[in-house]
Amino acid sequence: MLNNKVTDLFKIRYPIIQAPMAGGITTSQLVSEVSNSGGLGMIGAGYMTPEQIREQTIEIKKLTTGSFGINLFVPNEVNVSDKSIEIAKEKMEPIKEELHVQQDESVETFDYDQSLVTFREQIKVVIEEKIPICSFTFGIPSEEIIGELKQHNITLMGTATTVLEAIENENKGMDLVVVQGSEAGGHRGNFIKDTQESLIGLMSLIPQVVDHVSIPVIAAGGIMDGRGLMASLCLGAQGVQMGTAFLTCVESGANQIHKDAIMNSAEDEVILTRAFSGKEARGIKNKFISEMQKYESSHFGLDKAPD
């Protein structure tokens, strides 16, 4: 039997959460199909405007009567120098020429204060549209926002990559915590320690977190099938969150080239890189990463970056 606290809390048949992958992957079709199949579909809203969140929420409600949720990025300050931007543009030029890419050369400056305003507006839409489940990555929202969401009976999930981060999520009022092992694809949600200090394998991390928190633990990172689900449950997790496994679905908004690369890659082709955003992410090694890798840490100057 797979019924437990998570299935009861989310009103789902299986303790399986489709990871909220930002950037257009979590289409309305993907989210609704997962929910209709008994799992929990999640909107990856990290890059979405409040208006886009509202539009997609309305669309999903027409496609499913099942539970679904949303993920938001907690704003963080970012230090970026003009010199770093110029170096990055210079190193990108040969690649753009090879691919015949033409784009606006201007770079939009990150405004932390504006990101806080946008985040607050996203929260407002979540409340107004009565999205029942909201998860957070790259930190924990303020006590005020947590309290407001709970007043509207919205279930809250945090993200952690270490025991300390999991404890912090519980202390701040999260109802559940998604524990990301070092195997997790894309960006990981570490927010207390640096990436290198947070690279703990999932199967050793799960029991350590379970021993230190009382809220349900969701396992994430490298889980692709029922074996990973059952192993996670045996170690004390109440459910799993799967990203790459859903990324290749027909309903996913990922580019077909991206899907093909995942289906045809081997385990030793996956690496951690800062080439895409300045924050380390796990992806499949390709020519772009190889060309940019030597400039990642010393030239880009990005301490933190969004997923």
Residues 32-54: tens digit of each pLDDT: 999 999 999 999 999 999 999 99
- Cα end-to-end distance, the chain, whole Å: 35
Helix pair 112-128, 50-63: axis angle to 10 deg: 30
**For residue 283, what are the β-bridge partners?**
271
Can you tell me the distance from the alpha carbon of 287 to that of 91, in angstroms, rounded to the nearest whole number? 13
Position 84 confidence tier, pLDDT thresholds 50, 70, 90: confident
Nearest C-alpha neighbor of 142 from the set 74, 223, 190:
74
Across 189-223, b (16+ Cβ under 10 Å) vs e yields: bbbeeebeebbbebbebbebbbeebebbbbbbbbb
Cα–Cα distance for residue pair 118/52, rounded to 1 Å: 12
Burial class (CB in 10 A: 0-12, 13-18, 19+), 87: middle
Domains in the chain with CATH codes:
5-93+110-265 (3.20.20.70)
pLDDT tens sequence across 1-25: 588 999 999 999 999 999 999 999 9
Q: Which helix (H) or strand (E) holds 160?
A: strand 155-160
Residue 201 has pLDDT above 80, yes or no: yes
Q: Which of 183, 181, 136, 141 is closest to 161 using CA atoms?
A: 181
Say how far apart CA 12 and CA 175 lie, in whole Å: 16
Q: Which has more confidence, 33 or 86?
A: 33
How crowded is residue 173: how many other Cβ atoms within 10 Å of its Cβ?
16
Convert the pLDDT of each residue in 132-182 to its tens digit. 999 999 999 999 999 999 999 999 999 999 999 999 999 999 999 999 999
Q: Residue 284's beta-bridge partner residues?
A: 270
Identify the pLDDT of residue 163.
Answer: 97
Q: What is the pLDDT of residue 305?
A: 44
* pTM of the complete model: 0.90
Q: Which of 3, 135, 2 is nearest to 73 (CA)?
A: 135
Tokens of 238: 């109440």
Taking only the tens place, the pLDDT of each residue in 231-255 is 999 999 999 999 999 999 999 999 9
Q: What local confidence, expressed as pLDDT, does residue 287 receive? A: 85
Contact residues for 198 (Cβ-Cβ < 8 A; gap 6+): 161, 162, 165, 182, 188, 190, 192
**Residue 8: count of CB within 10 angstroms of its CB:** 11
Angle between helical axes of 226-234 and 202-210 (0-180°, round to 10): 30
Which of 33-47, 83-97, 292-306 reaches the highest mean pLDDT? 33-47
Question: In the structure, what pLDDT confidence band is assigned to residue 296 with cuts at 50, 70 and 90?
Answer: low
Closest Cα partner for 44 from 218, 191, 201, 247? 247
Looking at residue 299, its pLDDT comes to: 53
